[in-house]
Structure 1
Amino acid sequence: MTTTEHPTVSAPEQRISLPDLAPEFYRAMAGLERASRKGVDPVLAELVKVHASMLNGCAFCIDMHSTDAVKNGEQHHRLLSLPAWRETSWFTAKERAALALTESITLLTQGHVPDAVYDEAAARFEQTELAQLITLIVTINAWNRIGVTSRLSPAVKEG
């Protein structure tokens, strides 16, 4: 096997289909998703979604949102560096504040949302924009929990 070949491993089988078995809830989540994106820069929204999804280990959401980020003009090297965003100069102060807030909300049991993290986000975002950012983070965390629990698997890509 060469260094570019990877063995084919089948993904775990999906456990449950919430759209089929809880359609009213699923429609409500879709509505929540639409509402949470309003007023948030699409590139920033996808960075936040990819970062939260990486923290939560949701392969389905990482795949979906990294694809959407690239379609919105995001650069691959920034997406790949999200786990080490503090170690790069590739993110703006506003993006850094959003990524820190994403970590604090996503990893809530590891120190809650420290005042310093919240205050930095509040300094970088207008109040309405900050409120929308919080709803976006909360929503992607809900989607991640659905994806991981039900074992949603990303689509296989050719090429």
Structure 2
Amino acid sequence: MTNAHGPRMHFARLAPEVHRALAGVEAAAKKDLDPTLVELIKIRASQLNRCAFCIDMHTKDALAGGERPERVHLLNAWEEAAGYYTDRERAALALTEAVTVLTDGFVPDEVWARAAEHFEETELAHVLGVIVAINAWNRIGVTTRMTPGTYRAAPVKH
């Protein structure tokens, strides 16, 4: 399936320094975090931002990394699917939603406190970094109308 309008531009080719810098931010943010958690954060933020390219990419990466299909399929309703996600994942997903949407202009204290219960401070800073990075990627993907379906997950190295 392709985008009816086609891509507006090829951002990585036109702004390679910005693309590399953002990739560097993402790599630094996800360092030392569980790759499964990182993909859940990326998928959920991408769902909220309606970035079809990123949903496609991170769903494929999660599945290639061994994530169970049920958890990927239920991610859009993670609060109702309590038995599928750990308390730690649920705290990260709540923080992802609060940071991504910012409907009231802030991240509620209770959401931050919940995340802080499950992540030590440095780790929480990295979770926040992953959330910020995927939101930047989503905004590029949605704005430039990146076409979903073209991404292929790399083979997982064991």
Please report the TM-score for the alignment, with normalisation by the length of structure 2: 0.90
Post-superposition Cα deviations, 1:58-105, rounded to whole Å, max 9, x if no partner, equal: 011001101111111111111111111111111100000000000000
4+ aligned runs moved over 4 Å, structure 1: none
Give the gaps of 5 or more residues in structure 1. 1-8
Does 2:107 match 1:105?
Answer: no
Is the 8 Å Cα contact of residues 104 and 111 (structure 1) preserved in structure 2?
no
Q: 1:34 matched to which residue of 2? A: 27
Q: 2:70 matched to which residue of 1? A: 77
- What is the percent sequence identity of the aligned residues? 53
Is the 8 Å Cα contact of residues 53 and 141 (structure 1) preserved in structure 2?
yes
Q: 1:153 matched to which residue of 2? A: 147
* Aligned CA distance change for structure 1 residues 118 and 75 (closer, same or farther; 3 Å): same
Mapped to 2, the partners of 1:107 and 1:10 lie a distance apart of: 27
Number of corresponding residues: 149
Post-superposition Cα deviations, 1:96-121, rounded to whole Å, max 9, x if no partner, equal: 00000000000013452100000000
Mapped to 2, the partners of 1:130 and 1:110 lie a distance apart of: 22
Give the gaps of 5 or more residues in structure 2. 152-158
Larger RCO (alpha carbons 8 Å, 6+ apart)? 2
Mapped to 1, the partners of 2:150 and 2:131 lie a distance apart of: 27
Please report the TM-score for the alignment, with normalisation by the length of structure 1: 0.89
The letter for the 2-side match of 1:96 is R
| Aligned-residue RMSD, C-alpha | 1.4
Q: Considering only CA atoms, is the larger Rg found in Structure 1 or Structure 2?
A: 1
